[in-house]
Structure 1
Amino acid sequence: MSGRLPMVVGLTIVWVLLWGAVTPTIVVGGVLAALLVVAVFPFPQAPWTWVIRPWPTLVLAVRFLWDLLRASVEVSWFAIRPSGAPASALLRIDLRSRSELIMTITSELVCLVPGSLLVELVPEEGAIYLHVLDAESPERIEQFRRSVLAQEERVVKAFAPRAERDAVCGQGVA
């Protein structure tokens, strides 16, 4: 139960916020509802082993913000340019990491940037399927594929355990 305590507390807080008042009845009702939800819908305990490396995390954040700004300008241009929207494509990109946490973080960071949308994440195969807005040429598609793999590498350098980091990024990564 100790592992589920944060979930019960969090669900109780959401319950109280939804009711908009703090009374003993609402709090007790929230605790009971949270216990019921945790008992009926147990979350699997994921073996998440990860670290936070400050410098690679800063690099990841700065690069994400740069990609966000650049892509926002590009997508805005696509919306107002006279020739209309560019060709789009559905791409399968095979990631090198097999950690579901790393794959999820990578997928979220990629699809939060305008111009791409996560369609499916297949952790068993290590693949993500993305809808890409700017796919006018094979070069643009390859450039996008490389940018996703570079994002994965930044995520791995920032958060993955040493063994996985070395496997994905090569030996001797600082």
Structure 2
Amino acid sequence: MIIGLTIVWILLWGAVTPTIVVGGILAAVFVVVVFPFPKAPWTWVLRPWPTFVLAARFFWDLIRASVEVSWFAIRPSGPPASAVLRVGLRTRSELIMTITSELVCLVPGSLLVELVPEDSAIYLHVLDAETPERIEQFRQSVLDQEERVVKAFAPREERDAVCAQVGS
């Protein structure tokens, strides 16, 4: 952490001199001591095939949604109805909830409004919410994304618990 912060310090100054390097080290030590990172109880696993599936599907969603949002911008009938949706996630892991939320809101057409870890819920602003079917389709796409993230990164116990809920 100290090395990374020192590099940022040097980049901000735009020069490498002994004074700037020592100042960067002192500033980095100060930041790390005064503002320590909390100990995160997060554990995760990297599974290659589910991670590949997650990445491939994310890029497919990115391309598809970009085309849809572009069409909404130029279509003659104007912008579609939008809505704020609450999606209850099945995982209890804040790390998995955060990754899922980020992947969902990086795709054009949705925006994260709030993440509530106590309720395992996320609130999203959705661009295309003209019909109840579209809203339910979006809600299901978020749950499918959560399932892919869980299969790719969650520890075995979390993965088994979420996949058991999917099956029921």
Report the TM-score, using the length of structure 1 for normalisation.
0.93
Alignment of 1:49-88 (within 5 A): 49-88=43-82
Per-residue deviation, 1:116: 0.2
Paired AA for residue 134 in structure 1 = D
Is structure 2 residue 113 aligned with structure 1 residue 119? yes
Gaps of 5+ in 1: 1-6
SS in 1 for 2:115: strand
**AA of the residue aligned to 1:94:** G
Alpha-carbon offset, residue 155 of structure 1? 0.2
1:150 equivalent among 144, 147, 155: 144
Q: How many angstroms does 1:31 deviate by? A: 0.9
1:119-139 CA-to-partner distances (Å, cap 9, x unmatched) read 111111111110000000110
What residue identity is the alignment partner of 1:95? L
2:123 alignment counterpart: 129
- Identify which range, 110-119 or 23-32, moves more after superposition: 23-32
**What does residue 7 of structure 2 align with?**
13
Q: 2:41 aligns with which of 37, 44, 47?
A: 47
Q: CA RMSD in A?
A: 1.3
For structure 2, which runs of at least 5 residues remain unmatched after alignment?
none
TM-score between both structures, scaled by the size of structure 2: 0.96
Query: 1:48: how far off?
Result: 1.5
Note the C-alpha offset of 1:93: 0.6
Letter in 2 for 1:143: Q
Name the CA distance, whole Å, in 1 between partners of 2:78 and 2:2. Answer: 50
Q: 2: distance between equivalents of 1:73 and 1:112?
A: 14
Identity across matched positions, percent: 84
- Equivalent pairs counted in the alignment come to 166
Structure 1 distance, partners of 2:80, 2:102, is 23
Q: Which secondary structure state, in structure 2, belongs to the residue aligned with residue 170 of structure 1?
A: helix
Q: Which residue of 2 aligns with 1:31?
A: 25
Report the alpha carbon displacement of residue 170 of structure 1 after superposing the two structures with TM.
2.1
Residue of structure 2 equivalent to 1:110: 104
Distance 2:141 2:83 in 1: 16
**In 2: Cα distance, 1:36 partner to 1:53 partner:** 37
Instruction: Tell me which amino acid in the other structure corresponds to 1:149.
Output: L
Secondary structure of the equivalent of 2:125?
A: strand
